[in-house]
Amino acid sequence: MTHFRFLFSAVILAAGLLAIDSNGANFADSSSSEPTRTFEFTYQVHVPANAGIVTSARLWIPLPQADSYQEITQLHIDSPVAYSQGHDPEYDNTFAMFIPTARQIVAGFDVAMHFTATRREHKSIVGGSTPGTESANIPPVDAKLLQRYLQPDKLVPLNGEIAELAKAHTAGDTTQLQKARHIYDYVVANMRYDKSGEGWGRGDAVWACASKRGNCTDFHSLLIGMMRASGIPARFEIGFPLAEGKTQGDIPGYHCWAEFYLDGAGWIPVDASEARNNPAKRDYFFGAQDDNRVFFTYGRDIRLSPEQKGEPLNYFIYPYLEVNGLSSTNLQTHFSFRDVSMQRQTSAR
């Protein structure tokens, strides 16, 4: 088996997101007292044997990101298949692209990615509905990318029902923060976390608006649509949840959340679905995200690279395989974590 190893710097990227808590402590400062969780993460993919005639195949898997709230170290990938690292052109998400030979795709193969992550609580300078203090430490944001976060996605239109709903629930608001809080409150109060039946999980904002239920993807698609329709840049983020109170275990699926942008405050984290599931933390999750998660990618409608022949991905957290230029769902995955250390401290939530 060919063994490849990438080592991500343990130094938090200077260009990452910055936030200041209510006591003025920079979250990028390792001496600050925010809750922190360090763990080993395993991302496994099995590509079963393919009996058909194969002329070409490509497999993409997302790589975790390092920023002011997440350090990634000791990342390595075990696979018999050669691969290269790349970035999608719009959001700059990183990925590993595997190019199996015809023999390898016919026989099937496995990929195992391992890394160590330290995740810090992301708590912004705004909490509840009280505006924060402007800070000179807010890093500049690329104007073109910020503009993208005001545009619709394929399943998140900004007109019709979404625009009308946003207008109705921000009527009389004079600040972007007030609008953001009222949109958040509407989504938390009116959406149900319900994965029964069909339709949920696609992040279809119109479906979510009508059905008023779904999973985290549906919650945040509606929230992001209403934010953008109100002139507030908002972005979709996806990764995996870590079980609170457990030191290791399997992870059944992804978790996603969002951030919105305020001048003078930067990117403000929100997690509407967690707030719905934990009513006591409703105020906390407007302006904060806990350390029980690992972040992988931004955005929707993702085109990974010129080699991708299929439609843009709705979101990118699971592996994506194309065989003979056609997308394939014939994959098996397994995700797990194990805490290395838990530096959890009392936090006012």
Does residue 173 sit in the same domain as residue 268?
A: yes
Confidence of residue 98 (pLDDT cuts 50, 70, 90): very high
* 140 pLDDT above the threshold of 90: no
Quick check: is 80 in a domain? yes
Residue 54 has pLDDT above 50, yes or no: yes
- For 279, residues 6+ apart whose C-beta sits below 8 A from its C-beta are none
Cα-to-chain-centroid distance, residue 139: 20
Asked if residue 194 and residue 77 are part of one domain, the reply reads no
Say which CATH number the domain at 107 has: 2.60.40.2250
Same domain assignment for residues 145 and 165: yes
Say if residue 136's pLDDT is above 60.
Answer: no
pLDDT for the residue numbered 311? 96
Query: What DSSP assignment string belongs to 277-329?
Result: H-GGGTTTTBSEE-SSEEEEEE-SSB---TT--SPPBS--SS-EEEETTEEE-
Confidence (pTM): 0.86
**Cα 271 to Cα 62, 156, 224, 287, 332, distances in angstroms:** 22, 18, 11, 9, 28
pLDDT bucket at 53, cuts 50 / 70 / 90: confident
User: Where do the H-state alpha helices sit in the chain?
Assistant: 102-107, 143-148, 160-169, 176-190, 205-211, 216-229, 272-277
Band (pLDDT 50/70/90 cuts) for residue 13 is very low
Average pLDDT over residues 278-297: 97
pLDDT tens digits along 288-324 = 999 999 999 999 999 999 999 999 999 999 999 999 9
What is the C-alpha separation between 9 and 64, in angstroms, rounded?
Answer: 12
Core vs surface per residue 309-325: b (16+ CB within 10 A) or e: eeebbbbbbbbbbbbee
| Domain limits for position 187 | 126-296
Domain boundary among 279, 296, 313: 296
The angle subtended at Cα 261 by Cα 347 and Cα 118, nearest 5°, is 40
- pLDDT over threshold 80, residue 28: no
> Mean pLDDT throughout 247-265?
96
Total domains in the fold of the chain = 2
Contact 219, 273 (CB under 8 A): yes
**pLDDT average, residue stretch 252-271:** 96
The pLDDT assigned to 32 comes to 52
Residues 63 and 191 in one domain: no
Same domain, 176 and 269: yes
Question: In angstroms, rounded to a whole number, what is the distance separating the alpha carbons of residues 3 and 81?
Answer: 9
Report the alpha-carbon distance of residue 4 to residue 314 in Å, rounded. Answer: 29
Summarised one tens digit per residue, pLDDT across range 109-135 is: 999 999 999 999 999 866 444 444 444
Same domain, 185 and 263: yes
Residues in the chain: 349
134 assigned to some structural domain: yes
User: If you average pLDDT over every residue of the chain, what do you get?
Assistant: 87
Residue 349 located in a structural domain: no
Residue 244 lies in a domain: yes
- Residue 131 sits in the same domain as residue 272: yes
Q: What percent of the chain has pLDDT over 70?
A: 85
Q: Is the pLDDT of residue 87 over 90?
A: yes
Nearest to 269 by CA among 235, 297, 239: 235
Sign of CA dihedral 230, 235, 240, 241: negative
* Cα angle value 333/102/42 (rounded, 5°): 20
Whether residue 343 is predicted with pLDDT greater than 70 in this model: the reply is: no
Residue 325 falls within a domain, yes or no? yes
- pLDDT at residue 9 above 60? no
How far are the Cα atoms of 105, 110, 115, 229, 261 from residue 47, in angstroms, in the given order? 8, 6, 21, 41, 39
The rounded percent of the chain whose pLDDT value lies above 90 is 78
**Do 208 and 308 fall into the same domain?**
no
Looking at the structure, tell me whether residues 67 and 106 fall in a common domain: yes
pLDDT category at 141 given cuts 50, 70, 90 is confident
Residue 160 above 90 pLDDT? Answer: yes
User: Per the structure block, which two tokens stand in for 246?
Assistant: 């457990």
For residue 159, the domain's CATH number is: 3.10.620.30
Q: Is the pLDDT of residue 262 over 50?
A: yes
Per the domain annotation, does 348 fall within a domain? no
